[in-house]
Amino acid sequence: MAKLYIVPTPIGNLDDITLRAIKVLQEVDFILAEDTRTSSVLLHHLQIEKPLRSHHKFNEHATVALVAESIAAGRNVALISDAGTPGISDPGFLLVRTCVEQGIEVETLPGATACIPALVQSGFPCDRFCFEGFLPQKKGRNKRLTELSQESRTIVFYESPFRVVKCLEQLSEVFGPERQVAVSRELTKKFEQTVRGSLREVADHFRTHTPKGEFVIVLAGKGLKTREERETHDTQEEDEEQ
């Protein structure tokens, strides 16, 4: 029975493609791509020649039914995005939902995503976290941030280089300028960087260092103690024991 394959692609370093992803892309009947020009570069690198069809946020409502019909007719299809895992801040949800509703099997491969590396290397608790992706640019933005102000879990946001400073300033207003944050950019690429500190300190850094690349903002949850607070707490406990 034919199925829809969700195939993650590298977020920067092309070596991060998995052997299983390569195998699937070699075997499907055609590939849906967020941007066929970007995906052509990757497929050429992998020496894969398969028909490419556009599937992006501007046409997905019009194409999901046709794609589902193709799979139901026996054609295996892979969905890829420009980088990372389709459906995570990229097109994919509507197609997956349509296939599920029509009883079409969906198989999702594990693979590259910017969220998890940034979260793990932030130094904040990552056993439980809240993924917010891109915040609304205008309507609903302040409301969402206010709702998150009481969140005790680590919070992960995506942001563009053009809005990252403004975003850090807004987070500082809502969560307080001393809330700890780790901001990663250019993950897996040559100039990968993570800047850690308070919201005030990290915003100051990117005001004086031109933001470049895609950003992942990992914000400490409410109540997380800083290193200094932990050390003070540990010292107090030791004094009490003595």
| Residue 237 within any structural domain of the chain | no
pLDDT at 76: 98
Amino acid at 240: E
Over range 12-29, report the average pLDDT. 97
Q: How confident is the model at residue 163 (pLDDT cuts 50, 70, 90)?
A: very high
Could you tell me if 63 and 137 lie in one domain?
no
E-strand ranges in 138-205 read: 154-159, 180-185, 193-198
pLDDT at 240: 62
Could you tell me if 33 and 76 lie in one domain?
yes
What three-state secondary structure class fits 183? strand
User: Which domain does 181 fall in, by range?
Assistant: 115-224
Could you tell me if 156 and 171 lie in one domain?
yes
Domain harbouring 27, CATH code: 3.40.1010.10
Element (H, E) at 193: strand 193-198
| Residue 73 within any structural domain of the chain | yes
pLDDT at 235: 55
- Judge whether residue 194 has pLDDT over 80: yes
Q: pTM here?
A: 0.90
Of 108, 137, 160, which residue sits at a domain end? 108
Q: How confident is the model at residue 137 (pLDDT cuts 50, 70, 90)?
A: confident
pLDDT at 138: 85
Q: How confident is the model at residue 56 (pLDDT cuts 50, 70, 90)?
A: very high
- Domain count for the chain: 2
Residues 171 and 179 sit within 8 Å (Cβ to Cβ): yes
pLDDT at 225: 72
